[in-house]
Amino acid sequence: MDGDGPAAMRYTEARLTKIGEEMLEDIDLETVDWRPNYDNSLVEPTVVPTRFPNHLCNGTMGIAVGMATNMAPHNLTEVLDACVMLLGNPDATIDDIMNIIQGPDFPTGGQIFGSGMIREIYAKGKGSILCRGKVHIETTKNAQLIVIDELPYQVNKAKLVEKVADLVGEKKIE
């Protein structure tokens, strides 16, 4: 949330969670092509086969050939429930799916502004979601304070604090 770079390799260790292990359970079943890694010391899969649509749960962001894509993250349980429903009913409608997945699930919280557009975005496969933070006011003996409870998705906390400090320095807010 602060935009810090990753720690040096000597400080990091990676282990799979149980769900990560589940995602890779069938990787040795020759379901995907493999290629040499960057220094030809190992081989790696060209794509990662997975047992559930991880990209819907974690969201994705990328750009290629002049086209950008951002996919918002969604709740794992809701995505799996929708997958099971679709397996039993391949003719399910967007409304049927939206009875289960009502919208994105942002890890930092926030509130979707104009949530009525979500159905149209899901139906067309494109659109924008505007997310705003959640705040509340606390009153002390000396002042009223705006307390930020949730940040919009992908807002850099350190840059937000910097911007607030700039506004205070410019006497635009107290």
18-39 pLDDT, tens per residue? 988 888 888 888 888 999 999 9
Task: Decide: helix, strand or coil at residue 156.
Answer: coil
Q: Which of 11, 38, 122, 153 is catalytic?
A: 11
Distance CA 117, CA 104 (A): 12
What is the per-residue pLDDT across 106-148, written as a single tens digit (0 to 9) for each? 988 888 988 888 999 999 988 888 899 999 999 999 988 889 9
Q: Does the pLDDT value for residue 1 go beyond 70?
A: no
User: Residue 160 falls within a domain, yes or no?
Assistant: no
User: Residue 170 falls within a domain, yes or no?
Assistant: no
Match 């040499």 to its residue by tokens: 36
Q: How many domains does the chain have?
A: 1
User: Residue 142 falls within a domain, yes or no?
Assistant: no
Q: What is the pLDDT of residue 110?
A: 87
Give yes or no: 11 in active site: yes
DSSP 8-state class, residue 7: P
Helical spans, DSSP H, in the chain: 18-23, 54-58, 76-88, 94-98, 118-124, 157-169
User: Residue 111 falls within a domain, yes or no?
Assistant: no
User: Residue 71 falls within a domain, yes or no?
Assistant: no
Q: Are strands 43-45 and 34-36 parallel, antiparallel or unpaired?
A: antiparallel
User: Residue 23 falls within a domain, yes or no?
Assistant: yes
